[in-house]
């Protein structure tokens, strides 16, 4: 009888332990470590984080969800920031990383301290962390795939890259160049860094245009399409097909050209609201849920037939966006 009672007690304790692993997270603190905020996408990303997490705190889902952004896009600065967050006792750190591997040491420190680490957009390769990724290479390739259908005769391309040294820039560029290799009717005759910012892209394109032959299309990474259009106009050169990156100024310019002369293009980017998905994934891990280490979300594409609808829901100065709820995150986690 004693043995049976003891077994029952152990079973009950195990059940209670399992229940505690699924306990709510009202006392947990989550931090966002962001390496850069110098363009409209990053601003929209932070705004989405603020909107969703403030409500989560108000609803008692978590105790805090504090964002931190480094002043410079430097790995050493972000590493120091993450070390501070470890010391401040956060239960989870959500990271948009300056490098996929250079932060692995401090990420491992966080994991060893019992902290959940979830990376997104700029992901990290440290195995203890979770990753929410978009297939950036596929995103870049989709631009050239679109152009191959639109202009099968091909032509010269100008490539506008993103922020140098960030793996997202390398991945999108790799996708673009790999697809160009499959479509030799296209040739990249110039490449500049636009830092995912309209003003920087406009200046960079204006600087290279005098040395370039006729350009049939511009492949981009986001935040640079409108700047490219302005540079071509200022140089008095024909406007090529410019791939857009879901920014409101790009979509507005595209709509104006479409109404004026039937201008056709496409627009593609990762939704800034992916930060809110990362928040909910971190919350679910803290709540004891089983979550795959690698999660994939689709990129957000806008085409000729849904331009107006996308523009209507994109605030001035912002980016076409999708924000995630807890239910959305649970579907992503479940592979749905």
Bigger pLDDT: 134 vs 321: 321
Residue ranges and CATH numbers for the domains of the chain are: 24-134+271-300+320-333 (3.40.50.2300), 136-269 (3.40.50.2300)
Characterise 246 by phi-psi region: left (phi > 0), alpha (psi -120 to 50), beta (else): left
Q: What pLDDT shows up at residue 23? A: 52
> What is the pTM for the complete model shown?
0.82
**Per-residue pLDDT tens digits for 290-299:** 999 999 998 9
Q: Average of pLDDT values for 223-250? A: 97
Q: What pLDDT shows up at residue 1? A: 42
Q: Name residue, tokens 């929410």.
A: 132
Cα 15 off chain centre by: 39
Q: Average of pLDDT values for 233-250? A: 97
Tell me the angle at which helices 326-333 and 274-286 cross, rounded to the nearest 10 degrees: 80
Q: What pLDDT shows up at residue 17? A: 38
Q: Name residue, tokens 């470590």.
A: 33
- Going by C-alpha positions, the residue among 218, 262, 215, 258 that lies closest to residue 237 is 215
Q: What pLDDT shows up at residue 2? A: 35
Q: What are the tokens at 1?
A: 């009888």
**Per-residue pLDDT tens digits for 15-32:** 333 333 345 899 999 999
Q: What are the tokens at 184?
A: 């030799």
What is the DSSP-derived secondary structure letter of residue 237?
A: P
How much of the chain, in percent, has pLDDT values that exceed 90? Answer: 85
- Going by C-alpha positions, the residue among 154, 156, 86, 151 that lies closest to residue 116 is 86
**Per-residue pLDDT tens digits for 115-161:** 999 999 999 999 999 999 889 999 999 999 999 999 999 999 999 99
Q: What pLDDT shows up at residue 7? A: 42
Listing DSSP states for 100-169 in one string gives SSTTHHHHHHHHHTT-EEEEESS----TTSEEEE--HHHHHHHHHHHHHHH-TT-EEEEEEE-STT-HHH
Determine the Cα–Cα distance for residues 300 and 271; give it in Å rounded to an integer. 6
């Amino acid at each position: 009888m004693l043995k049976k009672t003891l077994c029952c007690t152990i079973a009950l304790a195990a059940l209670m332990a399992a229940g505690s692993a699924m306990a709510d997270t009202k006392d947990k603190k989550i931090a966002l470590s962001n390496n850069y905020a110098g363009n409209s996408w990053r601003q929209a990303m932070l705004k989405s984080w603020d909107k969703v997490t403030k409500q989560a705190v108000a609803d008692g889902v978590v105790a805090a969800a504090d964002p931190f952004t480094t002043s410079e896009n430097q790995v050493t600065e972000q590493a120091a920031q993450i070390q501070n967050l470890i010391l401040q006792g956060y239960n989870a750190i959500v990271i948009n990383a300056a490098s996929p591997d250079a932060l692995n040491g401090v990420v491992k420190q966080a994991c060893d301290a019992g902290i959940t680490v979830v990376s997104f957009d700029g992901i990290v390769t440290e195995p203890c962390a979770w990753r929410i990724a978009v297939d950036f290479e596929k995103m870049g390739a989709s631009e050239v795939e679109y152009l191959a259908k639109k202009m099968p005769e091909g032509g010269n391309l100008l490539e506008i890259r993103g922020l140098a040294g960030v793996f997202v820039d390398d991945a999108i560029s790799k996708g673009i160049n790999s697809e160009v290799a499959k479509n030799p009717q296209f040739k990249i005759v110039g490449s500049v860094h636009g830092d995912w910012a309209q003003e920087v892209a406009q200046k960079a394109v204006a600087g290279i245009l005098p040395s370039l032959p006729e350009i049939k299309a511009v492949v981009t990474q986001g935040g640079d399409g409108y700047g490219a259009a302005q540079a071509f106009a200022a140089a008095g050169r024909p406007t090529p097909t410019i791939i857009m990156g879901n920014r409101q100024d790009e979509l507005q310019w595209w709509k104006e050209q479409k109404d004026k002369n039937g201008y056709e293009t496409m627009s593609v980017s990762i939704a800034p609201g992916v930060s809110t998905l990362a928040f909910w994934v971190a919350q679910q891990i803290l709540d004891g849920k089983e979550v795959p280490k690698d999660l994939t979300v689709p990129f957000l594409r806008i085409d000729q037939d849904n331009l107006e609808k996308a523009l209507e829901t994109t605030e001035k100065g912002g980016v076409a966006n999708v924000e995630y709820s807890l239910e959305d995150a649970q579907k992503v986690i479940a592979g749905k």
